[in-house]
Amino acid sequence: MIISSGRSKIRSTVVVLAAAALTVAGAVTILAGSTTAEAATWNAGVEDEGADCPVSLPGSTAANSKLPDPFTKLDGTRISTQSDWRCRREEIKQLAEASVYGEKPGKPASVSGTVSSSGITVSVTDNGRSSSFSASVSLPSGSGPFPAVFVLGGFGADTSTIRASGAAVINYDPLAVGQEGTSRTNKQGAFYSIYGSSSSTGILMAWAWGVSRMIDVIEQSDGSILRADATGVTGCSRYGKGAFVIGVFDQRIALTMPIESGSAGVGAFRSIATEGGAQPLSSAYSEQPWLGDAFGSFTSNPSGLPVDTHEMVGMVAPRGLFIMDNPYIDWLGAKSGSVAALGGAEVYKALGAGDNITYWSDIQDGSHCAVRPEWKTPLQQNIQKYLLGTGNDPGTFKISSSAAGSLSQWRDWQTPTLTAGSPTPSTSAPSSASPSQSVSPSASSNPPTSSPPASTGCKITYTTNTWNTGLTAAVTIANTSSSSINGWKLVFTLPSGQTITSGWNATYSPSSGQVTATNVSYNGGIPASGSVSIGFQASHTGNTDSPASFTLNGATCTTA
């Protein structure tokens, strides 16, 4: 099929929308499609191939509690051919900028820089202002030019497998382009040095702009070290949010791989607002200026949004997309992530690219941003397919039964059959390629009693991922006593300079000094020889040490 005139082409067979749905080992597993791709180049060759499409945004849109129909244009008509998607995608892009992320400026007046075997430098001038930033590069063995994966923030990504698969790693510090810890009226970083500290654009979009400018520099280089036509992006947690937005808004990214991105990431906004334990939209909006300023009016009214993240998933199509989620940490909203992925997969299938999306939340290790063995093989396969052009493994959906969203609950539209000629919209029920949602969520633990009983034995496993000014801590509380615990309080003292900014699976008070983590309603019960996992994100001033000791319900715990 032809995605755009005069640009990258992907020829594929007609997709048969009859993928099998299987339940294996507690996970919902689906084949993502049955496309046979024949092209080795998966990007569009341009940052935004629909930039020439005329778009007139409405002053307002009607509230809709369901996921908006990605196939219905702003004029109320539905697209009928695959080539129609180019301009429909542009409509979604501009709606997303206006209501969710803020505007991503086009290519600046001047972009220059260097590419070496150890780094990339970028200098940008626009609007009479200039800024610069850089990133380090780690090459794989062998001779170039190499495909490359932008890794945000330096943790959570399996960089050893990326390099072993033959791709370079570009270590991108997005905080140099859009800082965290600033107010919305005083945003800082290379992006805001040019477009103003009061810009309404959120820092996720600023981070995306930074990667786009690095790709500009790679395109301008002699091509002997890095390939501009084979780039990917990945990151975990807040950097998973960034990786997702980067892949959505630059069609030169051939492979997008967000990890545990949570609220403001892949998870559908409408679903997050109803998912117990997921980070509320208001919290994601206020925690950092990740989202654009305009999103503030939708935090308590997501049904008023003219778009949702399933359409951003669709904006990545037909390029490679590998979404990794963690069902163990409710704060991350994995159920809503599966809803968005399933909705976006309908766009992939309509474009004949159903094999190009993978969603995976069926994992064993619940630690936040862990490098997981379940993801190693699909990571290798995706790099081979989209960056090296040496493989053609189909994408799959492996959804944890404990965090399986129901697309049918969230949509009232059907997926059309997009053709190269006259329209032939589907009149059948929603595609059977969506997984069965008959699985039951995991049972909640017993709620706490009003006065937690003392623990007679406990063991704490405490692991951290750190970066320049922040860290995440994953904490496992194991009950080593012979009786169950029904309600718990874990007390520990944070090292000097550490302050908790957000947490999951517990309430934390205060945010620094001696902290008490108290169970929430669904995890107060810890059976004998059982455990619960909690965690938090914190800022630090250089001291990344772990707490010296922990007490659970007054009893001192051992540490692993």
Q: What are the catalytic residues?
A: 237, 368
Using a 10 angstrom Cβ sphere, with 0-12 exposed, 13-18 middle and 19 or more buried, the burial of residue 377 is exposed
In order, the DSSP letters of 186-203 are S--SHHHHHH-TT-S--H
In order, the DSSP letters of 248-310 are HH-TTEEEEEEES--TTTTS-HHHHTTSTTSPPHHHHHHHSTTS-GGGGGGTT-GGG-S--HH
DSSP label of 445:
P
Distances (CA, A) of 530 to 370, 457, 525: 21, 11, 9
Of the candidates 170, 139, 278, 187, which has an alpha carbon nearest to the alpha carbon of residue 232?
170
Tokens of 455: 């623990």
Using a 10 angstrom Cβ sphere, with 0-12 exposed, 13-18 middle and 19 or more buried, the burial of residue 383 is buried
The position carrying tokens 């600046």 is 108
Strand order, beta sheet including 555-556: 507-509, 514-518, 489-493, 550-552, 555-556
- CA gap 500, 497 in Å, rounded: 10
- CA gap 243, 261 in Å, rounded: 9
Residues shown for the chain: 560
Nearby residues of 125 by Cβ (< 8 Å), 6 or more positions away: 108, 109, 110, 194
Enclosing H/E stretch for 146: strand 146-152
At 443, is the secondary structure helix, strand, or coil? coil
Tokens of 234: 């990945």
Of the candidates 306, 413, 312, which has an alpha carbon nearest to the alpha carbon of residue 57?
306
Nearby residues of 139 by Cβ (< 8 Å), 6 or more positions away: 117, 146, 163, 168, 225
